[in-house]
Structure 1
């Protein structure tokens, strides 16, 4: 099962409280129809990872997540051999206690050790296997955190939905998994990866979209408080910050203010809670105090009747 229309994609995303633009829904729709990996790039906290989670829920598929990090290799991402079990099998074979191999020498036993019984399957290989509910959603999260050589290893998976295991041969998916790759762009991803994918830049939402996100994700917040929060955050993103707040931080800040029974923004409560929105000391020092007070004054003046 995939989506029949772009509107169906939007509906499934909306049903999970994910507010998506038509452009994003169109790219998701095309990636599914064309059986191409989806590459989502953008700043941290704008909702890239959530797309894969929502798709898995909406399609009723298993979500297989590969979280990338510096030093990630094939043993952690694709497969490795269970060496302790292989050694036990060799010892059992030498004594004739192995039902799988029998009474043979260790040298002969080794010929039978490289089969699926001894294969430890990691996310990439698991995603290529048949699944009862249909091909899974493979999330390759924050690819920019992995080393560049790992990108080259991914090319076979992204091009042909297969993995080459020297001892076994080629493992190819009967049905391609739905692949979603995310990057925070802490470094550039090689063009060879991007050429194999449909690309979409996930940007910060406009004010109307962010207000709708708060309505869905923090419905307990008073309407006027949500409006002021969005106006404040939108202004911050246009300023000179080391790290502009993402949607996730906007939601966290809204929930923090609601927990404090805040009805409207004032300089004191903003200064006291700004750590839920900004995550760097330099940004906190730049905004707290006079800057926050000035932004709140602007927001109030804008809302005042003329």
Structure 2
């Protein structure tokens, strides 16, 4: 059901397990009401992809995901013709005309076209991974909610999909794409919000351990690391610590589980030992 206010949007996302700041809830609400794509930029692991999943559950619409990658083109993103089937038809009926071969039954819809054919939430994930020329393919979809297929004509959505675009900002996205969207930067949460997320996503975590986890990770994000741990790593580390029956953080447990939080050996080496001990001492001081 479409939320009727910012508060309803925030509450609806929360019911789906997503703790949204008011600014993000406002951007999502406006994107829904104005039928504009929502462009989310930020560090990896800050929950950009998750909001699309939560909106899909909240609205009761299927999620159509386009995972971007280098070399992605129109055939991989929107549609392609089933040439094998066309060849079989030609062999079966030599009298077929060219226009008969480019009928809808020979069309293979990919994510962009599928999202236009039925009500859905379209997630264009990590657009910055795709090549810059691919962005030009998106402009018609983002502005008119339609795709022009030369052999068939224009296919327009009867009901515009809810579009969420994410970027980790490994490169700048062209202004032509951004102008068609509502923009929001998704940052790492503060300690209060991250603790709320942890309580929601890992309800079995003891309160004292959850607070220690959040403060430790908040401290990690102040270090000069190659890849800072995101909210996804916070949740995963909490689950790992529960599997180990940990009741509190200690140097041995932290050192043996850093690979859950950090994904580069240089980062692990930097945190191990004295740095981890300093962060543990700091969080104990803050917790009294």
Q: Which residue does 1:255 correspond to in 2?
A: 239
Check whether the contact 2:3–2:12 (CA below 8 A) recurs between aligned residues.
no
Q: Tell me whether 1:122 sits opposite 2:106 in the alignment.
A: no
Check whether the contact 1:90–1:109 (CA below 8 A) recurs between aligned residues.
no
Q: Tell me whether 1:291 sits opposite 2:266 in the alignment.
A: no
Q: CA deviation at 1:2?
A: 1.8
Check whether the contact 1:93–1:109 (CA below 8 A) recurs between aligned residues.
no
Q: Which residue does 1:265 correspond to in 2?
A: 249
Give the secondary-structure state (helix, strand or coil) at the position aligned to 1:265. Answer: coil
Pairs within 5 Å for 1:131-210 = 131=118, 135-210=119-194
For residues 148-186 of structure 1, what are the alpha-carbon distances to aligned partners after superposition, in whole Å with 9 as ceiling and x for unaligned?
111011011001111111111111112211100011111
Q: For the residues of structure 2 that align with 1:117 and 1:223, how far apart are their CA atoms?
A: 57
Moved segments of 4+, more than 3 Å: none
Q: Point out where structure 2 has 5 or more consecutive residues left out of the alignment.
A: none
Give the secondary-structure state (helix, strand or coil) at the position aligned to 2:133. Answer: helix
Q: For the residues of structure 2 that align with 1:3 and 1:254, how far apart are their CA atoms?
A: 32
Q: Which residue does 1:277 correspond to in 2?
A: 261
Q: CA deviation at 1:239?
A: 1.2
Q: Point out where structure 1 has 5 or more consecutive residues left out of the alignment.
A: 95-103
Q: CA deviation at 1:16?
A: 1.3
Give the secondary-structure state (helix, strand or coil) at the position aligned to 1:40. Answer: strand
Q: For the residues of structure 1 that align with 2:203 and 2:228, how far apart are their CA atoms?
A: 24
Whose radius of gyration is greater, 1 or 2? Answer: 1
Q: CA deviation at 1:303?
A: 2.1
Q: Which residue does 2:90 correspond to in 1?
A: 90
Give the secondary-structure state (helix, strand or coil) at the position aligned to 2:236. Answer: helix
Check whether the contact 2:39–2:182 (CA below 8 A) recurs between aligned residues.
yes
Q: Which residue does 2:101 correspond to in 1?
A: 113
Q: Which residue does 2:28 correspond to in 1?
A: 28
Count, aligned residues: 288
Q: CA deviation at 1:109?
A: 2.6
Q: Which residue does 1:244 correspond to in 2?
A: 228
Give the secondary-structure state (helix, strand or coil) at the position aligned to 2:55. Answer: helix
TM-score, structure 2 length as denominator?
A: 0.98
Q: CA deviation at 1:257?
A: 1.0
CA-atom RMSD in angstroms: 0.9
TM-score, structure 1 length as denominator?
A: 0.92
